[in-house]
Chain A
Amino acid sequence: MLGQVLVSGILVGGIYALVAVGLNIVFGVLRIINFAHGEYLMMSMYGAYWLWRMGIDPYLAAFLVVPAMALFGALSERYLVRYTLAAHAHVKIFVTLGLSIALQNLALLLFKADYLNVRTSYQTSTLDLAGFAFSVPRLVAFGALLVTAASLYAFLRYTDFGKAIRATAQDATTARLMGIDVERVYMVTFAIGAAVVGVTGCLLIPIYYVFPTVGIDFVVVAFVVVVLGGLGSIPGAIAGGLLIGIVEQFSGFFVETSLRQVVYFLIFIAVLAVRPAGLFGQRGAEEIGLK
């Protein structure tokens, strides 16, 4: 029984990790908290839902949703976030918060507050492995997490543009002096963050309902994961996501389902109080460029 709780914790954690990876890469490079990140997830889920209504399987829909989200991410950086980068702290926080409120209400206006979900043949099927039941769509999501994270990691580590992104994250001014087009790096980073969340939306729609405020549920967890894992660290985001998933399932099992959020918020507060850089983050990272 406990093994089964652990399994479902890991699978739930995989989804949290995917949401957090996109948030974290933007945070690490642009040093802003994108409060609209959850709404990008909501948009992706609606996109996958409407494509399903038109007869396209949610997993195939990813091939349309992901480029669309990447484009939307790039545009929102170019025409909105860019103007906040040199501004006061409050402008940085509240512009993306304004975008988040606007997108939520736009969805409410267009789609009403109804909970919508798709029906697929594989949605409720499970796979029995070593005596544990694995839900198929959750397993697919977990596989996609591993593939996405590994390819993102390889991209950042081995390609020239990936190196430019990491250089900008370390020190934007020096990166600019070295001839890196920092503005382009910012735009591409935002596009990557939105694309990853686009993948997540398509994987999530067979599992979860979509409604205008669905993003809040996930983005709040993603904040916790980012802080836990450490700023700008992809392995940290994955470890943090899995940890939160496992903690959530166990606290749902032992304490009470409605209190599971309290448990991970308390962990979050404790981590920030004791080790503000996160469990895997570089010490002092929480202060770089934040003034």
Chain B
Amino acid sequence: MSINFWLDLLILTCIWAGVAGAWNLLAGFAGQFSLGHAAFFGIGAYTPPLLAQALGVATWFGIAAGAALAAALALVIAGVSLRTRWPFFTLITIAFAEVVRILAVYFKGITKGSEGLMLELEPGFANYFYLDKWPYLLLAAIYAAGVIWLCAVIRRSRLGFRLLSVREDEDAARSLGVPVFMARANATMISAALAAMGGSIFGLYTKFVDPDSTLSFLLSVQPALITIVGGLGHALGPLLGAALVIPIEHLLRSWFGGVLFGLHGLIFGLALIAVLLVLPDGLVGGLRRRRGRQVRHA
């Protein structure tokens, strides 16, 4: 296998570790299980090339704009789901992500619809557009490290404690004066903005953005799967999960993808069930239990 294969694997692992970290911030800390992160990821992927084509602005500006747009959508989602508890929050996020996906397919004039968008930007640092894979590994690694660091910081901050209290008992938290909506909305917005940045890097790296590869429902499942395998609510969980899930997924796809279409998805689904039933705390929880330490949630 060539160096490019391994580079590809590392870049995707880093990107997904970051996106899963963003998901974990909301699900693991605040107990809000989103199945709509594909919307944020897709907004992040589409915004830089669309802005570059329309206004000719540099990619960095597009990434920031994508993150801001995703955060704005997250604020709407948080507002709408204010009165609902977990299963409904999940359903609302699915509905929002579907709306975004359908609109992206529908507005062909802007997004090229299901045909997809080829990224053709001026090479160089301003657009972070390179033919080589190395610069993307650097960017993806910085992104993953940044997300994990931010999650660890937030976990120990006032916001982190508020989120945990909301997760454990929302009514009790409210009665003690925790601003529940503010905490939830902040977590949703930060999570969305971070996921959008991951989407931007993914789009720049693959140089092709279409609804299937950036907005599909399975992309909303992906960060959840990675986090659950790694350890829900642990800052390092998403990294461990991505380091395990992405290579396995890649290998399964390259072994069976061409011949036995569907086999890797079947294994994927069964593995998810097995991990949930055997190791509900994920790898991090399992490792801690092994060492005889008490498993604390987060």
Interface residues in chain A, defined as those with a beta carbon under 8 Å from any beta carbon in chain B? 33, 80, 83-84, 87-91, 93-95, 97-110, 112-113, 212, 216, 220, 223-224, 227, 256, 258-259, 261-262, 265-266, 268-269, 272-273, 276, 286-287, 290-291
Q: Which of B45-53, B101-109, B177-185, B240-248 contacts A (4 or more CB under 8 A)?
A: B101-109
Q: Which of B8-16, B57-65, B91-99, B120-128 contacts A (4 or more CB under 8 A)?
A: B91-99
Number of interface residues of B (CB under 8 A): 50
CB < 8 Å A-B pair total: 139
B153 CB–A CB distance under 8 Å: no
| Complex CA distance for A108 and B270, rounded to whole angstroms | 15
Please, which residue of chain B has its CB at the minimum distance from the CB of A39?
Answer: B269
B273's partner among A93, A102, A256, A273 (CB-CB below 8 A) is A102
Which residues of chain B are near A91, meaning CB under 8 Å? 276-277, 280
A-B contact pairs, 11 of them (CB 8 A): A83-B277, A89-B31, A91-B276, A95-B277, A105-B265, A105-B266, A223-B91, A258-B102, A262-B103, A273-B79, A273-B82
Ranked 6 nearest A-B pairs via Cβ: A102-B269, A105-B265, A108-B262, A101-B269, A98-B272, A109-B262
Please, which residue of chain B has its CB at the minimum distance from the CB of A89?
Answer: B86
Please, which residue of chain B has its CB at the minimum distance from the CB of A87?
Answer: B280
Interface residues in chain B, defined as those with a beta carbon under 8 Å from any beta carbon in chain A? 27, 31, 33, 35, 79-88, 90-92, 94-96, 98-99, 102-103, 105-106, 169, 217-218, 221, 224-225, 228, 232, 260-266, 268-273, 276-277, 280
Please, which residue of chain B has its CB at the minimum distance from the CB of A273?
Answer: B80
| Complex CA distance for A99 and B274, rounded to whole angstroms | 10
A220's partner among B90, B98, B224, B260 (CB-CB below 8 A) is B98
Question: Quick one: given A113-B261, A258-B106, are A105 and B92 in contact (CB under 8 Å)?
Answer: no
Other than A105-B263, A109-B266, give 5 A-B pairs with Cβ distance below 8 A: A108-B262, A108-B265, A110-B262, A259-B102, A265-B98
Which residues of chain B are near A290, meaning CB under 8 Å? 85-87
B269's partner among A89, A105, A224, A256 (CB-CB below 8 A) is A105
Which residues of chain A are near B91, meaning CB under 8 Å? 33, 223, 227, 268, 272
Please, which residue of chain A has its CB at the minimum distance from the CB of B91?
Answer: A223
A112's partner among B105, B261, B265, B268 (CB-CB below 8 A) is B261
Which residues of chain A are near B92, meaning CB under 8 Å? 268-269, 272
